[in-house]
Chains A and B, each alone.
Chain A
Amino acid sequence: MTNSMNEALKAIEIFNPMVEEIDERQVKVSVGNDKLVSVLETLKSKGYSHLSLITCVDWIDDGQLELVYILFSWQDGGKFIVTTRIDRNNPKFVTVKEIWPVARFYERELHEFFGVEFEGNDDMKPLFLELWDEMPPLRKDFDPREYSKSKFPDRKYEKDVIKEAKIFRGEIDG
């Protein structure tokens, strides 16, 4: 861990984080829902000012979604991965777009793919999916194969694929 990371860690000690060192320049910090925004703001003030990504992990067996905020420092290349877990059945959290305006796009994405709502961010128009009418597709109980089968019925092909393959392999003459 770099010196400035140690310093930043000290600064967020009061929020009782669970700290896990991943490697020299990456630390994972897990905190309670009510502490998350304060931790992000503190880290931002300590130089970890670049919000690289907001993403999410579906812990289906625990009934939780883990929100993941990745903060980067341009000073020493250190990275903080700040996470908090929310209820999977009532996935609501607060927006951080007031701290990082770019966050509104990440939040829209998470709404689209995991179904998370962010209080204070009303613009939840889909970013990627067209005419989506199923559960958010990155939730682990989404079955892509079933979806694919129901949306795209199999086509009946006429071509003799075996014969073609054998011609390609030189087993028979075309």
Chain B
Amino acid sequence: MKQSQSQMPKKDFFAPVKAWKFLGKKPVTIEVPNKVKREASERYRGFHINDWSKCIGCGTCAKVCPTDAIKMVEVPGLVQEDGKLPQRPVIDYGRCSFCALCVDICTTGSLQMTREYIHISDDPEDYIFMPTEKGIKAKRGLYEHGKAPLGWVKDKDSDLLDLERVLMEMVEPQERVRSFIEIVKGYSKEQAMKEAARCVGCGICTYTCPAHMDIPQYIESIYNDDLEEGLRWLYRTNPLSMVCGRVCTHRCESVCAIGNRGEPVAIRWLKRYIIDNVPLEEYSRILDINPEKKGKSIGIIGSGPAGLAAAYFLATMGYDVTIYEAAPRPGGVMRYGIPKYRLPDEALDKDIALIEALGVRILTNMKVGEDISFDEIAKKHDAVFLATGFGLGRSTKVPGTDHPNVKQALPMLKMIRDFLRGDGPKPPVPKKLVVIGGGNVAMDISRSMARLQMIEYGKVDVHTASLERTYEEMPADMDEIEEALEEGVKFYPGWGPIEIVIENDEVKGVRFKKCIRVFDENHRFNPQFDEEKQIFLEADMVIEAIGQAPDYSYLPQELQEKLEFFRGRIKTNEYGQTAIEWLFAGGDIVHGPDIVHGVADGHAAAKGIDLYLSSKE
């Protein structure tokens, strides 16, 4: 300051008088706006416009602004929905330096600049605006309101976002179809940090994630190379991060702000990177869980995603937790449903090991209703959480499905996994297989059987038919369909089974008719067929994978009568509490099959059980 002041010209005693001499001269300054208004250049960075129909309220413009001129303001009337936040930027033109960084980083391209550059007012209130499609109402400006032509807009060179994902290395199709090795190799540190750098931290994903994971926070931990902090972020909401880092339905990625113009951030692979790179021995030190014992006990039926998640959160609150599991190993669908090439046992073991280390008892080979009665469990514990999942398969019930070589996908997947871990016999491997179904389970069984066929006969002969008429319409993930195609599975979209053809007591194949519509106008499942168009697919085994159903036979009759059901699912409040106050439920039997939803349910139920037991004191 001092230096600059000393450089100011010294004031002359006659200066005021000298100024008078300019009185008679023509002014050098041009009055603006002049009679002839000068248009700004084509790429001028003038006042903003923001297309509200494109803007998702991600707030990236406010974050990048070097002069702190942009604030995100919630707009009453806009609603929070998947992929959108109900807020829009407000720009303070008293601060804005018109650098255009906000335009260059805008995730959707909704924010742009016009060539309007004149706005003259002596009222400071006129310098704050929430830009809309029409932009600023410029006073004494060049253009009519809303008519200013575009100036600076983002182009390939000025775009500040990295729209391309860091490629994940995968085992090649020809190699992976010969065994059950895990396909996805995982990111290296350099790859993970590069991918993490693509995230703009808007947090739109957190709303959509059923478990509301702190996604921007753990991605920032990766960027800062602080995986311990990353692990703590993961465990705040999801104790099955290893599993979810591999097989989550990743709805977060479908709403990622970067996905509006580019490839969404690989959130799932980044989560996996944290878990893959923190050794299990370090977990208890990093997470530092030492709850005060509450002296109350909770019984959980089922050790799938919901049961394990509930157990973890209850244990961290200080409850004594016991899980009853019918199968010989814990994990439910993660252990017996999802194929090994997507989720190896070791991944699941790591997640479960921490939960057991917290003192959770998992009693395996303990089928409720056979090895222990439900009443005994109810008597033993202060509250009970049901997380028994959808364990039964559904059948198309077309003629011939009662033949022993017409199988259900879930028991077959279980048999394959048991065989691979040495727990059971080799499943029967057909030379020609037809799979009925278009969801992820259909993909799992098609691809698992393709591998067994490759190992057994050296070639794949799997034909998978679904009612849905296109790959887009099929409920399976596109990745799954693509990878199955690469592995040699043949798809027949748009065909519904008529009958299983059986000759001399042997399965010969399946006859299908053309499906012309799956859902009716009310979006209800109501398929219609063109009976004239038919195909026949040869097979010596048929596997049905058209959906799963719950099995409530373990629940005593009088209890079932007290519970409320809706289309086979148990009705609960937001905390998983059923009509019976000490009985909670979650996972598939409440929300349908989805692992991360199960985790969210387990978390909600743990909170609910804690509220219920605290209120009883």
Contact = CB atoms under 8 A, between A and B. Distances in A.
B66 A155 contact: no
- Kindly name the residue among A125, A133, A164, A168 whose own CB sees the greatest number of chain B CB atoms within 10 A: A168
Interface string A155-174: 10111011011101101000
A131 interface: yes
Interface in B39-59: 52
28 contacts: A130-B4, A131-B1, A132-B4, A133-B1, A144-B67, A145-B68, A148-B66, A148-B67, A149-B68, A152-B94, A155-B94, A155-B124, A157-B128, A158-B125, A161-B90, A161-B130, A162-B73, A162-B130, A165-B75, A165-B88, A165-B130, A165-B132, A166-B77, A168-B134, A168-B137, A169-B133, A169-B134, A171-B77
Contacts of A144: 66-67
Interface of B: 1, 4, 7, 52, 65-68, 73, 75-77, 88, 90, 92, 94-95, 124-125, 128-134, 137, 145-146
A140 to B, nearest CB: 13
Contact of A161 (B77, B129, B133): B129
Interface in A5-34: none
A159 B4 CA distance: 38
Interface in A101-151: 125-126, 130-133, 144-145, 148-149
Given A131-B1, A165-B132, A169-B52, A148 B124 contact: no
A63 B68 CA distance: 29
A168 B132 contact: yes
Nearest to B1: A133
A158 B123 CA distance: 11
Contact of B125 (A148, A159, A165): A159
Given A126-B4, A148-B66, A155-B124, A164 B92 contact: no
A164 to B, nearest CB: 7
A171 B134 CA distance: 13
- Kindly name the residue among B7, B65, B68 whose own CB sees the greatest number of chain A CB atoms within 10 A: B68
A105 B578 CA distance: 78
Task: Please name the 8 residue pairs, one residue from A and one from B, whose CB atoms are nearest each other, closest first.
Answer: A144-B66, A165-B130, A161-B130, A148-B67, A159-B125, A157-B128, A168-B134, A168-B132
B128 A145 contact: no
A131 B4 contact: yes
A145 B146 CA distance: 30
A70 B466 CA distance: 65
A145 B73 contact: no
For chain A, which range describes its interface: under 10, 10 to 19, 20 to 34, or 35 or more residues?
20 to 34
Nearest to A143: B66
Contacts of A154: 68, 92
Contacts of B145: 168
A144 B73 CA distance: 23
Contacts of B92: 154-155, 157
A148 B137 contact: no
A142 B133 CA distance: 34
Contacts of A130: 4
A166 B76 CA distance: 10
A152 B129 CA distance: 18
B8 to A, nearest CB: 10
B492 to A, nearest CB: 49
Interface string A72-104: 000000000000000000000000000000000
Contact of A162 (B67, B75, B95): B75
A126 B4 CA distance: 9
A162 B137 CA distance: 14
Contacts of A164: 129-130
B68 A148 contact: yes
Contacts of A133: 1
Contacts of A158: 125
Given A131-B1, A157-B125, A162-B75, 20 more contacts: A126-B4, A133-B1, A145-B67, A148-B68, A152-B94, A157-B128, A159-B125, A159-B128, A161-B128, A162-B73, A164-B129, A165-B129, A165-B130, A165-B131, A165-B132, A166-B77, A168-B132, A168-B145, A169-B52, A169-B133
A174 B209 CA distance: 39
Nearest to B129: A161
Contacts of B77: 166, 171
B95 A125 contact: no
A148 B65 CA distance: 10
A149 B95 CA distance: 10
A162 B145 CA distance: 17
Nearest to B128: A157
A40 to B, nearest CB: 30
A166 B94 CA distance: 22
Contacts of B88: 165
B65 A145 contact: yes
Contacts of B129: 161, 164-165
Contacts of B133: 169
A169 B4 contact: no
Contacts of A155: 92, 94, 124
Contacts of B66: 144-145, 148
Contacts of A161: 73, 90, 128-130
A133 B76 CA distance: 43
A158 B90 CA distance: 13
A118 to B, nearest CB: 18
Contacts of B95: 148, 152
Contacts of B131: 165
A15 B90 CA distance: 56
A154 B90 CA distance: 13
B57 to A, nearest CB: 13
A161 B92 CA distance: 11
Contacts of B146: 168
Contact of B76 (A157, A162, A169): A162
A112 B73 CA distance: 37
A85 B133 CA distance: 47
A169 B132 contact: yes
Contacts of B90: 161
Contacts of B68: 145, 148-149, 154
Contacts of A131: 1, 4
